[in-house]
Chain A
Amino acid sequence: MHEPYIEMIAAQALGALEAGESRSLEIHLAECSECRTVHAQLNDTAAALAYTAGEVEPSPGVRSRILENIKAEPRRTATEETGASKQSAPSNVVPITKPTRSLFRTALKYGAIAASIILAALIIATVLLWRQNQRMKAEIAQLGENANRTQQELAREREIVEAVTGPDATFLRLAGTDAAPRARARLAYDQYTGRAVLFAYDLPPAPPGKAYQLWFIAEGRPPMPGRVFKTDPTGRAMLRDEVPANGRDAKIFAVTLEPESGVQAPTSKPYLITPVS
């Protein structure tokens, strides 16, 4: 366990320890008395190597120069010295504390930066999610609306189908008159429910301000007005209507060209009419 440190201790005693390693050795020595003893022993051993160089007498002037120089040095008092030497030991500790403190500050600083980045990321993510949520809501609303419309259309279609395929449905043909010789139509009519659906083909396009109107005609009474309608560009039209209860005995159905708002009594000759039976 101490083995790597013994190697470091030997290297340090010989002045050959790499700068990076001496720090970790100092930290270990501060807490391991066993290694401190080895350290002191090997330091003494390494110092003995100085003897191998042999003793050489320096020039006599060196001694006097040294003693002269130290007189010029300001001297600390004994009490100051004690204080200073006490401080000198913990001074080894200062470098440990300093990096720790600055490490802490660095950690704080980087922590703050990291927190800001995370906060910014969260805000961006929230905005993106909120936008996505809004978009989804809009899509859902759109889909709901579409579904409603589809459902309404479906219901209408079903009504038409029911009107046409119901057990009491009657099919009538309407033929074109001189006003529209090529026109023709079919009418599905349930005299019990009053539902009627007209499918018209090849009607000439209605002039501006005008529209076609359906009429229910019972014997001995004036024609009853139905709804107005316009054709598509190919001359086709489909109209769903409900015959009033007092007109359900109508036997004749006709289509005339009228003002687009519709009228209470026909003002023109029929364009389409069921054959008079």
Chain B
Amino acid sequence: MRTETAPTPDVDNLRAIARGDESALAAVYDQYSRILFGMILRILNDREEAEDVLQEVFLQVWRRAGDYDETRGRPFTWLVTLARSRAIDRFRALSSRQRAANEAVKEVSDEVSDAAKDAFKSEQGEAVRGALAELPEEQRRALLLAYFEGLSQSEIAVRLGTPLGTVKTRMRSGLIKLRELLGAQMDSLR
């Protein structure tokens, strides 16, 4: 649905937000709140917590839009990175009991949590899932553990019982392979 949208309007929106344009923030929200919320929910597996974090994320966007640096990635990347790190922070802050409960649920379904079962599976989502499925199992696992569980490389090494060097190689190879597989589609992924 938003496949034809060029990245330039996103950059413009962030600049407008930096200047204090509320409607620009509303536009960014309308465009990205669902994908960001889906990811936050995937990490936290708790709707209430996820909505709270989403609110925090957009408050941060409002305050820090001026920090966006085009040379470090697209606006979408900046938004996702911000949302992910907020969600991981919240995830870590949650009580260990709650975390344990949430992790138990995640073990059942590695790709889509129960809380996100009503997620809208977009074209982009299908494309990324397709590319991810082509990666060797151990590479895919390393990427997902890092990205959605916020584990560091050494924590992943411990979790998987794999040497740290192997984890590093898997992450690098996996991410580079994913980039190759997505190839031309990257532009449509914002």
- A-side residues, CB < 8 A to B, are 6-7, 10-11, 13-18, 36, 39-59, 62-63, 65-67, 69-71, 73, 75-78, 81, 84-85, 88-89
User: What is the minimal beta-carbon distance from A4 to any residue of chain B, in angstroms?
Assistant: 9
CB distance from A70 to the nearest CB of B (A): 5
B81 and A43 contact, CB distance less than 8 A: yes
Task: Please give, as numbers and ranges, the residues of chain A lying within 8 Å of B29 by CB-CB distance.
Answer: 63, 66
Q: Is the CB of A46 within 8 A of B175?
A: yes
CA distance A78 to B19 in the complex (A): 5
CA distance A183 to B51 in the complex (A): 134
B67 near A88 with CB under 8 A, answer: yes
Majority-rule SS of B interface residues: helix
Inter-chain contact A58/B18, CB cutoff 8 Å: no
What are 25 A-B pairs at a CB distance below 8 A? A7-B171, A10-B176, A11-B171, A11-B172, A16-B153, A40-B71, A41-B179, A48-B186, A48-B189, A49-B143, A50-B35, A50-B38, A51-B129, A53-B112, A53-B125, A56-B41, A56-B119, A57-B34, A57-B37, A57-B120, A63-B30, A69-B59, A70-B62, A73-B63, A89-B69
Q: Are B84 and A45 in touch, CB under 8 angstroms?
A: no
Residues of A within 8 A of B99 (CB): none
Main secondary structure on chain A at its contact with chain B? helix
Say whether, besides A56-B38, A81-B66, A17 and B120 are in contact (CB < 8 Å).
no
User: B41 contacts A15, CB within 8 Å?
Assistant: no
Q: Across the interface, which residues of A come within 8 angstroms of B144, CB to CB?
A: 49
Closest to B17 in A: A70
B5 close to A (CB within 8 Å):
no
B residues 14-69 near A (Cβ < 8 Å) are 18-20, 22, 25-26, 29-30, 33-39, 41-42, 50-51, 54-55, 58-59, 62-63, 66-67, 69
Of residues 128 through 152 on chain B, the ones whose CB sits less than 8 Å from some CB of chain A are: 128-129, 132, 143-144, 146-148, 150-152
B154:A18 contact, CB within 8 angstroms = yes
Do B73 and A47 touch across chains, with their CB atoms under 8 A apart?
A: yes
B residues within 8 A CB of A76? 20, 66
